[in-house]
C-alpha cells in the first residue's frame, strides 16, 4: 500500500498533527475492537507528540483504561536512566494519564539483552495468543505503531546492515549497535507485519536525506531499514515537518 505522506510547517504543527492522528486511530480501534494496542517510539522527537496526547483536548477524548502500550525498542539501561525510552514516555505522557499498570508493557532492560528480548517476545506472543494471521499462526496485530527515523535510516533499533532487518520469525531481538557501543532491544520488521497503522514520525533537516532514501531510494532494506517495515494490510503514514521533507521530490506527493 502506498504510504500517505503529510508535511507540516514546523515541529510544533507536526506534534499536534501526530497526536491527533494517534488519538484518532486509537479511538477507532477502541470503537471497533474495544481496545487500542499502541507501539511507542523512543528517542527525542516523539516527546512533543506524547505531551500533546497527555493534555486536553486529546487526553480527555481517549479511554486510557483501554490503551495497551508497548515500546518499539529500548536502550539496555535501567528504566530510570536518562537514556531510557520508558522514562521518556513516563515524563511526557504517563505522568499525566491514567493507564492501568497491567496495560503498560515495558521492555525490562534491567535484565541482560538476551533475557529482556526473550521476555518481551514471550509477553507479546502471550498478549496476541488469540490473534491469528492468514496462515493460522499468532500475529502481532498492533493497532498503531509509531516509529522515528535515525539520520542513518534506522527505525526502532533496526540499524542498517544488521541481522534484525531480515529476521523472519523473531518479533524481538537483542542488538549490539557497534556505532553506539551499546546494546539495545528492538522489535523486528516481523513484529510490524500485521500492524493496522504504521506512522513514521520525523522532524528536522538532519533526517531529510534518510527520509528521501527511505521514500525515493531504490529498494534496499539492508541500507534503508524503514523499507523493511511492510505491514501486509496496514496503512503507512509518514508525518514530516518541512525540514525533514526538504529533499523529497514531487514524485513523493503524487
> Given the rule CB under 6 A, which residues bind ligand 6PG?
41-45, 72-73, 75, 85, 148-150, 154-157
- Closest distance to ligand 6PG from the beta carbon of 172 (Å): 14
**Pairing between β-strand 182-187 and β-strand 73-75 as defined by DSSP bridges:** antiparallel
Residue nearest to ligand 6PG (CB): 148
**8 A C-beta contact, residue 246 and residue 208:** yes
Which one, 31 or 206, has the nearer CB to ligand 6PG?
206
- Closest distance to ligand 6PG from the beta carbon of 157 (Å): 6
- Closest distance to ligand 6PG from the beta carbon of 174 (Å): 14
Beta sheet of 36-40, edge-to-edge order:
4-8, 235-241, 197-202, 144-147, 36-40, 67-71, 104-105
Q: What are phi and psi of 111, to 5 degrees?
A: -80, 180
- Closest distance to ligand 6PG from the beta carbon of 154 (Å): 6
Which one, 92 or 157, has the nearer CB to ligand 6PG?
157
Which one, 45 or 197, has the nearer CB to ligand 6PG?
45
Which one, 41 or 94, has the nearer CB to ligand 6PG?
41
Distances (CA, A) of 159 to 68, 100, 156: 26, 32, 8
- Closest distance to ligand 6PG from the beta carbon of 233 (Å): 24
Which one, 117 or 156, has the nearer CB to ligand 6PG?
156
Which residues, including other chains, have CB under 8 Å from residue 237's CB and lie 6 or more apart? 3, 4, 5, 6, 21, 197, 198, 199, 200
Residue 229: strand, helix, or coil: coil
Which one, 64 or 86, has the nearer CB to ligand 6PG?
86
- Closest distance to ligand 6PG from the beta carbon of 88 (Å): 9
Amino acid at each position: 500500500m502506498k504510504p500517505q505522506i503529510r508535511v507540516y510547517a514546523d515541529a510544533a504543527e507536526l506534534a499536534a498533527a501526530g497526536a491527533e492522528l494517534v488519538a484518532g486511530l486509537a479511538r477507532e480501534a477502541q470503537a471497533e475492537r474495544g481496545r487500542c494496542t499502541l507501539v511507542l517510539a523512543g528517542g527525542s522527537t516523539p516527546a512533543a507528540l506524547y505531551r500533546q496526547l497527555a493534555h486536553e483536548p486529546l487526553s480527555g477524548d481517549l479511554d486510557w483504561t483501554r490503551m495497551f502500550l508497548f515500546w518499539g525498542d529500548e536502550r539496555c539501561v535501567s528504566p530510570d536512566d536518562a537514556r531510557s525510552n520508558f522514562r521518556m514516555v513516563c515524563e511526557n505522557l504517563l505522568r499525566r494519564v491514567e493507564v492501568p499498570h497491567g496495560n503498560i508493557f515495558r521492555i525490562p532492560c534491567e535484565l541482560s539483552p538476551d533475557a529482556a528480548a526473550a521476555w518481551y517476545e514471550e509477553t507479546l506472543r502471550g498478549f496476541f495468543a488469540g490473534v491469528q494471521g492468514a496462515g493460522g499462526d499468532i500475529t502481532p496485530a498492533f493497532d498503531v505503531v509509531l516509529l522515528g527515523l535515525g539520520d542513518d535510516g534506522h527505525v526502532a533499533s533496526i540499524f542498517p546492515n544488521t541481522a534484525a532487518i531480515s529476521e523472519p520469525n523473531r518479533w524481538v531481538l537483542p542488538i549490539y549497535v557497534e556505532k553506539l557501543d551499546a546494546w539495545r532491544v528492538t522489535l523486528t520488521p516481523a513484529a510490524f507485519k500485521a500492524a493496522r497503522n504504521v506512522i513514521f514520525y520525523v522532524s528536522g533537516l538532519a533526517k531529510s536525506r534518510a527520509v528521501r532514501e527511505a521514500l525515493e531510494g531504490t529498494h534496499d532494506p539492508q541500507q534503508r531499514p524503514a523499507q523493511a517495515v511492510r505491514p501486509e494490510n496496514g496503512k503507512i503514514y509518514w508525518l514530516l515537518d518541512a525540514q525533514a521533507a526538504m529533499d523529497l521530490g514531487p514524485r513523493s506527493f503524487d
